[in-house]
Structure 1
Amino acid sequence: MPPPAGFVKKHVTDLAYETREELGLSPFDRLEPLALAEYLAIPVRKLSELREENPAAADYFLTRDPAAFSGVTVFHGSGRVILHNDAHSPARQASNICHELGHGLLLHDPTPAVDGSGCREWDQVMEDQAQWMAGALLIHELGLVTALRRGSEPSEIARRYGVSEDMVTWRINMTGAYRRAHPAHR
């Protein structure tokens, strides 16, 4: 029987905050995804770097349908490399890279990208864990609650942490940060 969802989120959050601390970051500091990747010895490549190797695929995902591809972790033996779509905004790239780093921090095993019939393989639990990890790495709850108490708008918080307003709103909603920042408004 799997652990309750709250237990998994707590474990993932604790690991994210321990990782931030190892990098010397306070709850109020911005995490730089490429610095974390370097710390973890996980190379990160931009999709645009593959134009020479596979121009049709790279151009498709970079210009024709950038929303179709965000990032992927590619395994080679025990090593891994992250490939991300650098056509996305810098804030979205931060989320994409941290999502993939989340898979690494959580020691997720490699899975095939597609099944035998060519359909995409998807493990929803691993994807949810990696997404939660990305959010916790990028925006510490204490920093978020403190910013909300001080009256900061999501756009200000997004700029401070280098993330999208959508990420800030998601973290506010998923962590209950607004209720904790403004207990009288319950």
Structure 2
Amino acid sequence: MNSLVAFNKPFNVISQFSKHEKYQTLKDFIELPKFYPAGRLDTDSEGLLLLTNDGKLQAEISSPKFKLPKTYWAQVEGQITEQAINKLIKGVQLKEFYTAPAKVKILDGTLDLWQRNPPIRARKTIPTSWISLTITEGKNRQVRRMCAAVGFPCLRLIRVQIGKYNLFDHHLQQGKWKAITINDL
């Protein structure tokens, strides 16, 4: 039977099952035969990673040709400006390409998140702010590079949604996984 698993990937975990000399891998958290990640999430990023045993579904989730929206919460250095937000919304020039327009909004208030281990670097004189950023691409380290391109380096990055699948709908604690119902993406 084809299945889908949602995993809340911690910081410093590699999105692969094969052993790594320096970092923990998915195998340290998930013991399901013939399941593979549908896409990747950088070692220094946290949050929603979908895994499946269905090759067609894996391609639909991870392939750029399907333009599946992915939403990230980014904690950036400094108090982000409307000018920076507008640049992200229009798309920004990175070295090798111009990004597609993104959906971006400032996240106000306190976010009820798990503590990152190790915590981000904190500077007493430099505030941080959080934004929600939705993209349909998925180039290498794209969200981090977009934030840096508009002058607000990313300190913490959490993927919260892939298509219709939202990390918080499944009440997943960090490092935990759950089998979920396959819906239309």
Q: Same fold (TM over 0.5)?
A: no
Structure of greater Rg: 1
Structure 1 or 2: larger strand share?
A: 2
Greater RCO, CA 8 A, separation 6+: 2
Structure 1 or 2: larger helix share?
A: 1
TM-score, length basis structure 1: 0.24
TM-score, length basis structure 2: 0.24
